[in-house]
Structures are given as C-alpha cells and as structure tokens.
Amino acid sequence: MRYLNDEELQLASRFLFLSMAMVVIQQDMQRIRQGTFKIKEPYITLLEKMNTEAVNERRELRKIMKDKKIQVITLNKNDSFSSYLFLCRGREEKRNYFNPAIRKKVEAIIQELMQKALPPHRHYAAADT
C-alpha cells in the first residue's frame, strides 16, 4: 500500500538514485586517475562537472526534503534486491528495488548529468568548411 504521495515518492527516489550516481561518478574518477589512460584530463573534467551538477541538485533536493520532512533510510541489500524506507511526516513506506533496475535508474541519471555537463554540440554545415 502507498503511504507517500507521488511528489513525495518522486523526491525521495530522485534523492536516492542521484546519491548513488554521485558514488559511481566519484569511483569512476578514482579509476581513471589510477588507470592507464593516456590522456586523463578531459575525462576527469567531464566527471567533475557532472559531480558538481549532481551536488547542486542534491543540495536542492535535501532542502525540499527537509521542508517536507522526508527521509530515506537503507534497510538491507542482497545480490538481487535493495530495500529502502521512505519516511514523511509520520508516514512510512518500504520499497524494494531489483538491483538491475537500480542500475538502469542510476545510468539514466548519469546520462542526464553528462548532457548538462557537456557544452552544446555545434553541427557544422558544409558551408562552414
């Protein structure tokens, strides 16, 4: 049974998956720094911009969640599922997520952040050459 309304659930879910995306971005930065990439700087710069976008969005989400008294608590994780408890003004809702579904949600957020971090792509017409 649903105890949180759509807006509350959407905020809490976005916060949860955005936080996971930030962890992935930070891990990727470490792997690139320690890896055998010939030219690391462009990748690190892109990931840093993505992380900044994520930090700013999560800060805003955290403010809204504080005002609405929304919390997200990790309950447990195993190989297949992860469980989270969403709390809002005395109401609570437990949600189980299939780990591959979490991966897809995090991947979509990373794609969004990448689009925000990259400069707009300019298409060159034949007349420009």
Alpha-carbon gap, residue 45 to 52, rounded angstroms? 11
Q: Which parts of the chain have pLDDT scores under 50?
A: 128-129
3-class secondary structure, 80: coil
- What is the DSSP code (8-state) at residue 2? -
pTM: 0.88
Q: How much is the pLDDT for 70?
A: 95
**Domain extents for the chain?**
6-115
